Structure 1
Amino acid sequence: MSLTRPLPGEYAEGYATYIAEAGEGDVLALLQGQMGEVAALFAGLSETQGAFRYAPGKWSLKDLLLHLSDAERIFAYRCLRIGRGDATPMPGFEEDAYAAAAQADARTVADLLADFRAVRTASLTLFRGLPDGAWGNQGTTNHRAITARCIPYIALGHAAHHLTVIRERYLPALK
């Protein structure tokens, strides 16, 4: 199986940035590699660093890591439903409400990282197991049409976006 980059019209314009940030190449291999990138970035953080927020009202690094897991779970669920031909519209989700309810700072960095690895591994298993014909299936999320093949690219680009924010805003302030 080889997924090709989705075309405009297969996804809402709001996802264009994530799809662009997914980069070029085999999206499943890139997702696998990104798991190591996330692990390398977070594994070296102390608990104090994990609770760091670069500004008042911003998420902690632990919040961000759990957000990556939460969003990926939702992306994978959407891909499963669309890939199986379920055309039932799916709602969006409010990321700030999820972050507040999750209480990530009460968990250890190691636990949150293990959670991310488990979620990413499960996503890759799902993506690798979808039949080739399922990738063109169309569904609706947050009142907008999307094909199944967009979702691995969105997951990759979403995580890449947050990794850039971490490198630009969080890590410099930790030094």
Structure 2
Amino acid sequence: MMRPQQDEFAPYYDKYISLIGEDVLAVLAAQQQSFTDYIRRIPEAQADYAYAEGKWTVKQALGHIIDTERIMAYRALRVGRGDTTPLPGFEQDEYVALADLSQRSLASYADEFAAVRAANLFLFRSFDAATLTRRGTASEQPVSVRALLYIVAGHLEHHIRIFDERYFQ
């Protein structure tokens, strides 16, 4: 699959898309196991740690990652099926604030991520070449299905870097 062109996504998402090479489906598949293992290696004692005042805890960041993956996959489904209805944005901080993420174990986040990614891989692998290039509107910006796949993969890579640099250095 070719990388998305600049006109297939809002400039904001370039920071995610630029982290991913050509074979996004291979990256998405590899991330399923590697990130599940990554979560399982986090000590439960660090689960409620935030690296600075006002920053998300590890559990909150994991909840955000999973929520964002679901939203981007939903967008890919809608656009991929030819739905031209503009899709609204979402307020990530409100999502995190309204979810009681601290009551769960890290193992439950690992299980949930693995399940969500497995379901999304079935969807993403079902898209043919024509579907991948379909375009829609999300958050008042143009977006293609293939850009959404790259965003899903790159968003996770972005957060792994934050975990490595700010939470677990």
Aligned residues of 1:66 and 1:116 also touching (Cα < 8 A): no
The equivalent of 2:100 in structure 1 is 103
Q: Give the TM-score normalised by the residue count of structure 2.
A: 0.96
Aligned residues of 2:39 and 2:109 also touching (Cα < 8 A): no
CA–CA distance in 2 between the matches of 1:40 and 1:50?
Answer: 15
Could you list the per-position Cα deviations for residues 104-139 of structure 1 after superposition, in whole angstroms to 9, with x for gaps in the alignment? 111110111111111111111100012321111110
Alignment of 1:42-121 (within 5 A): 42-121=39-118
Q: Which amino acid aligns with 2:147?
A: C
CA–CA distance in 2 between the matches of 1:101 and 1:47?
Answer: 22
Q: What secondary structure sits across from 2:136 in the alignment?
A: strand
CA–CA distance in 1 between the matches of 2:26 and 2:59?
Answer: 25
CA–CA distance in 1 between the matches of 2:50 and 2:14?
Answer: 28
Alignment of 1:24-43 (within 5 A): 24-43=21-40
Q: What secondary structure sits across from 1:151 in the alignment?
A: helix
Instruction: Provide the aligned length of Structure 1 versus Structure 2.
Output: 169
Q: Which amino acid aligns with 2:42?
A: L
Q: CA RMSD in A?
A: 1.0
Structure 2, unaligned stretches of length 5 or more?
none
The one of 14, 17, 20 aligned to 2:18: 20
Pick which of 7-16 and 38-47 moved more.
38-47
Query: Once the 2 structures are TM-superposed, how far is the Cα of residue 66 of structure 1 from its aligned partner?
Result: 1.3
Structure 1, unaligned stretches of length 5 or more?
none
The equivalent of 1:10 in structure 2 is 8
Pick which of 61-70 and 73-82 moved more.
61-70
Aligned residues of 1:62 and 1:109 also touching (Cα < 8 A): yes
The equivalent of 2:136 in structure 1 is 139
Q: Give the TM-score normalised by the residue count of structure 1.
A: 0.93
CA–CA distance in 2 between the matches of 1:138 and 1:45?
Answer: 38
